[in-house]
Every structure is written in structure tokens, then in C-alpha cells.
Amino acid sequence: MVAVATLVKRSYGQYCGFARALELVGERWALLIVRDLLVGPKRFTEIQRGLPGIPTNILTARLNELEDSGLVHRRLLERPAKGVVYELTADGRALEEPVMALGRWGAQRLGDPRPDETVTEDSIATALRTTFRPEAARKTRVTYLLRLGPIQVHARVRDGTIAVGRGPIEKPDLVIETGPAMRLLMAHEVTPAEAIKKRLVKISGDPKLLEKFVQIFRI
């Protein structure tokens, strides 16, 4: 357990687990930092690049707060790599379930992207994890590569489990190239056949695997 009484800077004056959680991760940007670190450890510049709207001083403050709360710690990279990465502690990783639940809830309310909204590798990786339906992936072994402009994210599905990573992967079973239409597919607002016909998506591989994709990843 993390002793938090002397660490929090904001108090809601309530003896409540939910209020305590908000004191620790309720500040703006805090949960997005946790979201991205759930994908993997990152340097400061990598976190900043994944959150293009965050000012440097705010990112520094949030990381310091998360460190003080025992949710994040810094680790020196071993040679030949250089530098320091931020990664979640065991208490930080325990936030995975609530973060995924919030992501699923929010995905159902996305709508079309706003003009000022960006897509990042970590946001797509999180989207795949939050919309993953294990029951639809039983007895399934398939590897997908998603390309959304310059962004590439891959997902390995193995018998009801998933491993998501940033960047390309060798010999994917299906490559999906798309944009905002990905939400339409995952929300079943358009069928895979319609998406291909209307050129909302472009695939390389067996079209049946796109049908499987929208079963496995569903908003």
C-alpha cells in the first residue's frame, strides 16, 4: 500500500476510495500519462511527443506528482542505451483495469474526430486493448498491423489473449490501412465489405481476417 496522506496536493475532504483516486490521478493529463506508460516505459521526450498538447512544465509537474505518489519511477537504461525512462510501479500498473474501462466507456462516445484532435501510436494501441473481446478471440491466432498515416501499431491475438505494440511487425496476417473510418468499422456502423468497396480501408491479406478483426475489436 502507498502512504498517500502527506503526498496529495488536492483534497476533496471525503474519506472515499474514489475521492482518494482523484487526488492522485485526477489532475489534467495524469491519466493520459498513465495510459501511455501502460504501453511501455518511455523517455521524457517520448511521453511529450505522444501528448503533443502538453506544456513541458506541466508534464514535468505531473511526472513529479506521479513519482511522489508511488505510481511512477525513473530507471536508468542499461548500456549501450543511454538516458532515463519513466515506467509504472506495481501500484501504477494496477491502474490498468480502470484505465481500460474508462477507455471502453469513452470509445462509445467518440463520434467523429474534432479538427484539433490528433491520433498517436499509444492512443491506437490503447484503443485496441480497450475494445478487445477475448470471447471472440478464442481458438484464434492472428497478427494484425494497422497503418493510420505515419502511425503503425500491431496486435498479436493468441487464443483469447492480446499483445499490442507500437511500430511495424514482420509477416502480419493482415495489414489494415485506414483513418477515422476505423471507428465506423469497430462500432459496426459499416461492414468490412462496405468499407473496402467505399475505399474507407485498404487491406493486404485475406478479407475474412478483416471480418474477424471487427468481431475481436468492437466498440
pLDDT tens profile 30-72 = 999 999 999 999 999 999 999 998 999 999 999 999 999 999 9
Which pLDDT score, from 0 to 100, does residue 160 have? 95
CB atoms within 10 A of CB 4: 14
- Residue 69's nearest CA partner among 106, 15, 33 is 33
pLDDT at 1 exceeding the cut of 80? no
Q: Boundaries of CATH 3.30.1050.10 in the chain? A: 121-216
- Strand spans (E) along the chain: 72-76, 84-88, 141-148, 151-158, 161-166, 174-177, 202-205
Bridge partners of 165, per DSSP, are: 154
Ramachandran angles phi, psi of 87, nearest 5°: -145, 160
More confident residue, 81 or 205: 205
- Which pLDDT value is given to residue 5? 36
* Angstrom distance (rounded) from CA 217 to CA 8: 37
φ and ψ of 136, to 5 deg: -85, -10
Of the candidates 87, 85, 166, the residue with the CA atom closest to the CA atom of residue 122: 166
Give the integer Cα–Cα distance in Å for 107 and 120. 15
pLDDT given for residue 17 in this prediction: 94
6-38 confidence digits (pLDDT tens): 344 678 899 999 999 999 999 999 999 999 999
pLDDT at 80: 83
pLDDT of 2 reads 45
pLDDT tens for 121-150 read 999 999 999 999 999 999 999 999 999 999
Neighbour-count burial of 210, counting CB atoms closer than 10 A to its CB (0-12 exposed, 13-18 middle, 19+ buried)? buried
Burial class (CB in 10 A: 0-12, 13-18, 19+), 61: middle
Percent of the chain with pLDDT over 90: 82
| Structural fold of domain 17-94 | Arc Repressor Mutant, subunit A (1.10.10)
CATH of domain 121-216: 3.30.1050.10
Q: Where in the chain is the domain with CATH 1.10.10.10?
A: 17-94
d(CA 9, CA 165): 34
